[in-house]
Each structure stands twice: as C-alpha cells, then as structure tokens.
Structure 1
Amino acid sequence: MEITNDPTINDYRTLFIEDTDFYNRIVLGSLLPHILWAPLPRFLQTWLRNYIGGVLLYFISGFLWSFYIYYWKRNVFLPKDAIPSRRAMVLQISVAMKAMPWYSLLPTISEYLTELGWTKSFPRLHNVGWLSYVVYLAIYMVIVEFGIYWMHRELHDIKPLYKHLHATHHIYNKQNTLSPFAGLAFHPLDGILQALPHSIALFIVPVHFIAHLVLLFIEAIWTANIHDCIHGKLWPVMGAGYHTIHHTTYRHNYGHYTIWMDWMFGTLRDPEKDEGKDM
C-alpha cells in the first residue's frame, strides 16, 4: 500500500484494516477451517467473505420470503396462477449463482480502495458526529437513487446493453415468472453496473463505511422484495407493485428504493391507477 504522511488517513487506514480483518475472521472463521482461508491474501479473504455472505443472504431471504408468500400464505397475497413454478425459481437461482462470484468483487474492491485512502469514507461515527453522519448518509442515498435510476434506464435505452446484458433479467416478464429469487438473476456485468452507484458515491461524499457495506448487502433483500409482485402501497417506496409494471412495460419505474426519480423524469406509472387496465 502507498504510504502517506497524513496522520488522519493513516489512522483511518488502520481502523479500516482492523474492521476488514474482524469481519473476515467472523464469517470465514465460523464457517471454514482456518487452514483453508488464513493463508489467502487479504483481498481474497475479503472476496471470499463477501461471496459467502452474499450467497447466504440470497438463499435465506429468498427461501424465507418464498415460503411465506407461496406456501404459508398461499392464495392470500397472490392468486394461484400468479405463483411461479419451481422450474422458474430454479432457473433464477442458477443465473444468480453464476453471477455471485462477480457481484462479490464490487464490495471487495470498494474495501480495498477505502483501505488505500482513496475514498471519502470514515471508519467511526465519532469522526464526524451524528448530524454530519445523517446528512452525509442522506446525500449518499440521493446519489445512489439518481445513479441506479439512470444506470437502469440506460440499460434499457442503449440497445446493445439491453440485448447483451439486461435482457437476461427481463425474461421474467409476468407475475408467474417473477419471484424473490429473480432479484439477483442478472448478467454479472449488469448486476455490477446497477450496484456501482453505491461505490461511486464513496468518492463523492463522506459516508460511514460500515453503513455503505450494510446498504450494499441490503440490496439482496430489497431486490428479493421488489420481485414478489405484491404491491405494498407504502408511499414513496418503489415497491413490487411498481417494479412488476417495469417488467411488463419495460419503460416505466426504473427507480430503486423510491418513486422520486421516476416522478422527476417522467417515467412513473402507478400500479393503483393501472388496476383493471391491460399493461
């Protein structure tokens, strides 16, 4: 790593490295024999930890949510003909698992660049105080919302990107082909591009690095939620009702957590207003 004379950067770097090593020990040490992971370079340890964490989060959230809506609450949230087949869900899992090793590179590279002192991240809340923490986090989320909206929209508007990347995800275009497992069923580069605003924001605004990692992994839970076809009716959340419309019209509701970007840029379509209409 490059050496700097800035004591603050060096202090931050020490804390970032301590945090990374701690997370690696917690995840890898509890799941794998020490001899399998300890000799690996730190970068590979971090990648392996992110990969295992991503896989566990994907399967735990996907299976629990699918069990709840398709079996425990069968025909309560969705009619029988809207429940996806096991074959469709297995296909989605297969696509997601092929991409997961590549998805795991993004948080790994973000951690490495943060350890080098290249981002604006800070390691501890007391480095900035509560007020600044909240303000920075709000700015970070706006950047993420804006970035994901336009990245997603361009993946549709730029035809080669759609054909070679995003079309992999849009084979799921009806209620009975969508499921929580479709949330990460992307071409690997497509999934990385849509998560990239999280990492880009690290170079723009100071943000607590643990918050960044948590939000990045929350993507796995959030994407599972917005592919279950259940309209939650919680304004201004871009829930599954909105995202199901996106999968049927291909030109509306590109947003991520909220409807604000679609509202600002004229691509919002409200599922409640669409009830009874042919989409």
Structure 2
Amino acid sequence: MGGGGDVEQYLQGFVDQTTFFNEVVLAHLLPSSWWSTLPHVWQTWLRNYIAGTLLYLLSGFLWCFYIYYLKRNVYVPKDAIPSNKAMLLQIYVAMKAMPWYCALPTLSEYMIENGWTKCFSSISEVGWFAYAAYLIIYLVFVEFGIYWMHRELHDIKPLYKYLHATHHIYNKQNTLSPFAGLAFHPLDGILQAVPHVIALFIVPTHFLTHIGLLFLEGVWTANIHDCIHGKLWPIMGAGYHTIHHTTYKHNYGHYTIWMDRMFGTLRDPVDESSEKMK
C-alpha cells in the first residue's frame, strides 16, 4: 500500500461498508431520529444488536416449529420435547446477554476500520486461491481456540461455577432446544467467540467473511442444541453436543470432531447408543 493518504482511503472503504450495513438495517426498522445522530460505533452496535436478535429469534422459532410441531415425534421423541416454559427461559437468558454479545462484532469492526488487523476488503486483492487458503487457516485457528476456551471453561472450576454453569443447566434432552444455543452468561458467550477476533491479528481475513461467520455462530449454535444427530462426518453436530451436555467432559469442539479426536475427548453418538442397548 502507498503513503498515508492511500492507507486512509483504504480504511475508509471498511467504514463505508459498515455505514452501508448500518443504514440498510436501521433505516428499514427504526425512525431516522432514533439512530442517525449516534456516533458511528454506536450505530454499528445497534445494527448488530437488532440483526443478532432477529437472527436468533427467527431461526429458533422456525426450527422449533418445524421439529416440534410439523415433524412432531419424527426427529425428537415426544418425551424429549422441551416445554414452552423451558424454551422461554432460554430466550430470556439469551436476550439478557445479547447486548453484550453484540459488543464483540462491534469491537472487531472498529479495529478493522482503524487498520489494527490483517483484514482485507475485497477477494480480488488476494485472489480466490489465497482467499480459500486463508479461510481454511482462519477456521482451523478458530476451531482450536474455541475447543480450548470451551474446555477451560469446564476445567477451571471458578470459570465453570460462575460462567459456564449457566448454560449447563440444560443437561437433558428434554431441556435442550435451539434456543439454548445462545443461553449463556454474557462473558461466557463472548469468551467462546473471542478466537474469531484474535484470528484477525494473525490470519489475513476477508472482512465480510469474518462478519458473516460471526453471525453464522447464531445459526450454528441453534443447530447443535436441537438433539438431532445429523450423522455428517466430521461435523460436530447435535448428536455429539448432546453428549457434551450430559457427560460434561466430552465433545468440546465447535464445527468438527477433529480437536476432540486429537486431544482424546471425543465420544461418538453411535458408541453411546450401542452402550445403552447393552
């Protein structure tokens, strides 16, 4: 990149993108007088809060409606369907934490806009091959980071007692639902997503891909708490994660089973079913 003016112009491109996203979301949902005078960073937080809340509620309601009502007793046995009261409690816990969750993507966008990270704004800057290679490295780093962050939230007793235990009250199939995916103590949820932000300082990352992956977390966590074993190797799906909620010491991984296999904490749902049948 050239001189200081070129750097400022390049970074302004990130600001322009976030400004566009802010306006798309906020202008369609709120009166202009409610948000247009806010500083840029607060507009970004408000956009993330609204988008995150809508994504959580819509994906959760639609998936629960499908598996618990339209496909009742097909995917989940009747006695394993969580009560409406349990799901409402999960929504309540997630909604209390949502304002804090949204601080993390807001912070990452702020750091990107100020040039503190290795983010790039366009795939054409590096080419598709380099983009794919960087994305794989990014995902491996995030998988490794989330695995160990999650594991330490169990192994370090004060962290478990004061943070992660809030999520592990959902420890049976009839208490787990897609809404449990974000039902964490706020700091717990942030800590488990922090590897996404740390990666920005280590791996060249496409800006929009980073933002998309952060929001994909909301959909992914809903999916792995629905108790339906998708049987798609090597994905760490709900079959594996349900075991995590019942044994507390297996299947800490996020997207795949590789970290658990590598570090000796993997427990396969097929093996679990075989043991129960004996």
TM-score, structure 2 length as denominator? 0.97
Give the C-alpha shift of residue 9 in structure 1.
Answer: 3.0
Give the C-alpha shift of residue 126 in structure 1.
Answer: 1.0
Aligned counterpart, 2:82: 84
One of 38, 44, 65 as aligned partner of 1:46: 44
Deviations 1:91-137 (A, max 9, x none): 00000000000000000000001111000000111111111111101
> 3-state DSSP class of the match of 1:275?
helix
Conservation of the 8 A alpha-carbon contact between 1:12 and 1:122: no
Aligned counterparts of 2:196 and 2:6: Cα–Cα separation in 1: 24
Aligned counterpart, 1:214: 212
> 3-state DSSP class of the match of 1:92?
helix
Change (3 A) 1:164 1:40: same
One of 149, 152, 159 as aligned partner of 1:151: 149
Aligned counterpart, 1:189: 187
Deviations 1:161-188 (A, max 9, x none): 0000000000000000000000000000
Aligned counterpart, 2:164: 166
Conservation of the 8 A alpha-carbon contact between 1:166 and 1:186: yes
TM-score, structure 1 length as denominator? 0.97
One of 54, 70, 75 as aligned partner of 1:72: 70
Name segments (4+ residues, structure 1) moved above 2 Å: 4-12, 276-279
Aligned counterpart, 1:202: 200
Aligned counterparts of 1:185 and 1:97: Cα–Cα separation in 2: 8
Q: How many residues align?
A: 276
> 3-state DSSP class of the match of 1:202?
helix
Once the two structures are aligned, what percentage of the paired residues are identical?
71
Aligned counterparts of 2:112 and 2:141: Cα–Cα separation in 1: 18
Aligned counterparts of 1:196 and 1:69: Cα–Cα separation in 2: 31
> 3-state DSSP class of the match of 2:24?
helix
Conservation of the 8 A alpha-carbon contact between 1:54 and 1:220: yes
Unaligned stretches of 5+ in structure 1? none
Aligned counterpart, 2:32: 34
Aligned counterpart, 1:270: 268
Unaligned stretches of 5+ in structure 2? none
Give the C-alpha shift of residue 7 in structure 1.
Answer: 4.9
2:132 aligned with 1:118: no
> 3-state DSSP class of the match of 2:275?
coil
Give the C-alpha shift of residue 40 in structure 1.
Answer: 0.3
Change (3 A) 1:220 1:181: same
> 3-state DSSP class of the match of 1:88?
helix
Aligned counterpart, 2:226: 228
Aligned counterparts of 1:79 and 1:131: Cα–Cα separation in 2: 45
Give the C-alpha shift of residue 14 in structure 1.
Answer: 1.2
Conservation of the 8 A alpha-carbon contact between 1:92 and 1:185: yes
Conservation of the 8 A alpha-carbon contact between 1:102 and 1:188: yes
Aligned counterpart, 1:136: 134
Deviations 1:176-210 (A, max 9, x none): 00000000000000000000000000000101010
Aligned counterparts of 1:251 and 1:41: Cα–Cα separation in 2: 44
Aligned counterparts of 1:278 and 1:153: Cα–Cα separation in 2: 26
| Equivalent position amino acid for 1:178 in 2 | L
Aligned counterparts of 1:237 and 1:45: Cα–Cα separation in 2: 36
Aligned counterparts of 1:220 and 1:75: Cα–Cα separation in 2: 25
Deviations 1:217-271 (A, max 9, x none): 0000000000000000000000000000000000000000000000000000000
Aligned-residue CA RMSD (Å): 1.3
2:246 aligned with 1:245: no
Deviations 1:25-54 (A, max 9, x none): 000011001111100000100000000000
2:243 aligned with 1:255: no
